[in-house]
Amino acid sequence: MSAEISSNNPVVRAIVKGTAPRPAQLAASRGALPLAQADLLEVLVALYNGSDEELKSNAGDTLDSQSTIEVEQTMRSPDVAPSVLSYFAMRTELPASIHESIITNVKTPPTAIATFATKTAKGELLELISLNQQLLIQNPSIIDAILQNTNRTTEADRRASEIKREFFEKERGAEQIANELRAQGNEAAAEFFEQSGFAESGLTEEDAILLAQHIEVPDRETDDSWLALEFIEEIYEETEEQRQATIGKILGELSAEGEEIGGERIAMINRIMKMGVKDRVKMAMKGDREARNILIRDPNKLVSSAVVNNPRISEQEVEAISAMRSMSEEILRQLATNRQWSRSYTVMHNLIKNPRTPLANVMTMLTRLQLRDLGALTKNRNVSDAVRRQALRLQNARTGGKSLQ
């Protein structure tokens, strides 16, 4: 007999475990013991599922004799045993109201609901099951049972099909893409798509494969310890209008810098902006030069910061970023305080001349500027008065007040 017992009644537990005296077991199988309805049904189902033929036969007859009203009430009870819910779920001839109570009881085992969904001829009950999205997501066998039952309603079919497509077929698509990329030797791209939510972003498999061409950094080379990726989407929820505005900003900056903007590049920018912030951050840290050139212009500071943290970013790229007048102060500050990039004279010089670089960082770097560049800076109207004055003081200190020729 089953060792899983819901009731705390010692009589029930002794009968289900098989330790009760034979007369008590026989009395229980005939429904002759004074037990609460939930306890009685648990005992009867346990005896019916047992190996003792006499007890099984008696319990079967007693179960058949139960009032449908009392059974329905018990099926709704939080005290009913899962084994009892499973037993009555298999009784397809029972009134629909009993099965409704079973389907909606949170204690009903998912396996019982899956079996019921396979056998029932009542389309409205399949529709009721299909309304429980969480149940179907956690137990895809129920989805398959609904879709394979020819008695399903149009609504049940629609709901089950949508959940299967959104939560399982797209997931399998991402897994398939990752496997294909790995087979082609592109481990970095495979890792990216295993961890991304591209399917939920509205990207097609074709979009995903095209984006994969721009992933070059494997996980072992990245360090995202500075990020709390699991919370990013909650913090930075974007509207479609904001995404379109970002696309316009990126295209505008590329055009202003004289870069060629063809149809393929526009298509790539659109694909990237379909992704959520979390996946754009990952792409910024793992993407190639083209991906970095696009994502450094993302107005979300986490995304552009991730570009600077990409281990494959080159000094030439950083030089270009340090000179961008459209770059955010935060990114310019990061470059100014980064030991690796601030050692580059070109990067430092660009940052000093960039009017968006925070003043405190500029003042710190001015002392390292060559005399010739200090002189040019004193005449540069694109920097602040404070920077020009400090450049002049430093120039005079080095030359003794003599003007440069």
Number of domains in the chain: 4
Least confident of 86-100, 162-176, 186-200, 366-380: 162-176
Judge whether 81 lies within some domain. yes
Residue 344 has what pLDDT?
94
Mean pLDDT within 226-232: 56
242 and 335 both lie in a single domain? no
125 and 14 both lie in a single domain? no
Mean pLDDT within 307-332: 94
292 and 359 both lie in a single domain? no
Residue 54 has what pLDDT?
95
Least confident of 13-27, 115-129, 173-187, 329-343: 173-187
Percent of the chain with pLDDT over 90: 69
Which among 76, 108, 140 is the end of a domain?
A: 108
213 and 155 both lie in a single domain? no
CA atoms of 123 and 115, how far apart (whole Å):
14
**DSSP result, 66-85:** S-HHHHHHHHH-TTS-HHHH
Reduced DSSP (H G I as helix, E B as strand, rest coil) percent helix, strand, coil of the chain, to 5: 70, 0, 30
Residue type, 370: Q
Residue 181 has what pLDDT?
82
- Confidence check: pLDDT of 189 > 60: yes
Structural domain range at position 376: 327-405
257 and 342 both lie in a single domain? no
Residue 178 has what pLDDT?
82
83 and 43 both lie in a single domain? yes
**DSSP result, 14-41:** HHHHT-S-HHHHHHHHTT-S---HHHHH
pLDDT band for position 1 (50/70/90)? very low
389 and 335 both lie in a single domain? yes
Which among 313, 339, 360 is the end of a domain?
A: 313
217 and 128 both lie in a single domain? no
202 and 304 both lie in a single domain? yes
Question: Which one-letter DSSP state was computed for residue 215?
Answer: B
Judge whether 391 lies within some domain. yes
Residues 110-155 have pLDDT tens digits of 999 999 999 999 999 999 999 999 899 889 999 999 999 999 999 9
Tell which phi-psi region holds residue 258, choosing left (phi > 0), alpha (psi between -120 and 50) or beta. left
pTM of the shown model: 0.57
Residue 164 has what pLDDT?
87
Which among 58, 83, 108 is the end of a domain?
A: 108
